[in-house]
Amino acid sequence: MSEKQQKLVYSIIEFLNQSIQDGTVKADDQESLEVAIQCIGEAFGVDPSNQEQVQKLSVKPATLQSIFDVYIKTRDKVSSAQSSSPASASTSKPNVPSAEDKAQAEKCKQTGNAQMSSKEYDAAIESYNKAVALDPTNPVYYSNRAAAHSSKGDHLAAVGDAEKAISVDSKFVKAYHRLGHAQYSLGDFKAAASAFERGLKLEPSNASLKTGLQNARARIDSDNSDDTVSGTRSGGASGAGGPGLGGMADMLRNLGGSGGPGGGGMPDLASMMNNPQLMAMAQQMAANGGLASLMQNPGVANMMSRVQSGNMPSMEEIMADPSLRQLAEQFGAAAGRR
């Protein structure tokens, strides 16, 4: 038994004896309380009649009652201070970026956009990181970073950033397109369709979202069809997991627009698909494995992924990539021999 515990027990016994003496306890209850005092003293080895113990264990001039009163007053003061603290804290907005931070964040975003245009994706991501750190309340920075991750092929990271953009601003439509594109690229076509649908609820006329939803639903229907799945597995026109001749044809039709001539001096790609000589060349490529080899080209694979998810590249983007330009020129030359 520690001395500190015995001091507490002695103070309790002293308080109970004082309650008997000053009449706090009724006369009928005094005998029972005296028995209780004796039992407590014996249990803790405290004898109030032992003067040596009294001198050792007494906390006078303080008493148990006075110590308790001090505790109650202190607790009430602390509780009062804590209850007033949230009210004052709620009036401040520590997480709101300053005007200077917002301006600096915009500069970082513009730098990132320029780096995206020059395909410096890692540098762009770093620029968007800085923008987010300066102003985490702007969904554009997360959305742009999602685009940079997708351009690198890191679609999981793109999903995370797109969802973060939506959590910051659930009405930011572009984030739903980023999310759908990333999920489509991961092969989660149902999740992609859901993302496109959510975006269309906010902006029903958005053409990119409509195209993305159409492509996602087509892949869902294809996956649900045993015949289509079987044909995809046995067909020689596609590489390992890559799009086949039909996918390439769809891509070229999309690039060709509605029948007018292509940009940058390109021929009408839609009409090219009706050229028997061109189609024979494409079929020969598929038969000898040339199409599968073609899809190993990162530029072609990335363009196909964007087309299938509704994120159509412009003709300027295509012609800026040497490998894609060469592919387009080859098809254009074949079309010219019709």
Query: Confidence band (pLDDT; 50, 70, 90) for 293?
Result: low
Q: What is the pLDDT of residues 126-163, one digit of tens each?
A: 999 999 999 999 999 999 999 999 999 999 999 999 99
11 CB-near residues (< 8 Å, 6+ apart): 59, 63, 64, 67
Q: Average pLDDT of 280-287? A: 60
- Amino acid code (one letter) for 137: T
pTM of the model: 0.45
46 CB-near residues (< 8 Å, 6+ apart): 6, 9, 10, 13, 40, 53, 57
Distance between CA atoms of 331 and 329, rounded to whole angstroms? 5
Distances (CA, A) of 71 to 57, 80, 244, 275: 21, 14, 80, 94
Of the listed ranges 31-35, 195-199, 244-248, the one predicted with least confidence: 244-248
Q: Using CA atoms of 284, 289, 293, 294 in order, give the dihedral in degrees to the nearest 10.
A: 20
Residue 6 has pLDDT above 70, yes or no: yes
The pLDDT score that the predictor gives to residue 279 is 59
Query: Confidence band (pLDDT; 50, 70, 90) for 48?
Result: confident
Q: What percent of the chain has pLDDT over 70?
A: 62
Q: Which one of 19-23, 73-77, 148-152, 315-319 scores highest in mean pLDDT?
A: 148-152
Of the listed ranges 83-97, 103-117, 146-160, 302-316, the one predicted with least confidence: 83-97
Name the 3-class secondary structure at 308: helix
The pLDDT score that the predictor gives to residue 33 is 86
Q: Average pLDDT of 59-71? A: 79
Q: For 213-228, give the DSSP string.
A: HHHHHHHHHHHH-HHH
Q: Average pLDDT of 87-107? A: 74
Q: Which of 152, 153, 157 is nearest to 142 (CA)?
A: 157
Q: What is the pLDDT of residues 251-267, one digit of tens each?
A: 544 444 444 444 444 44
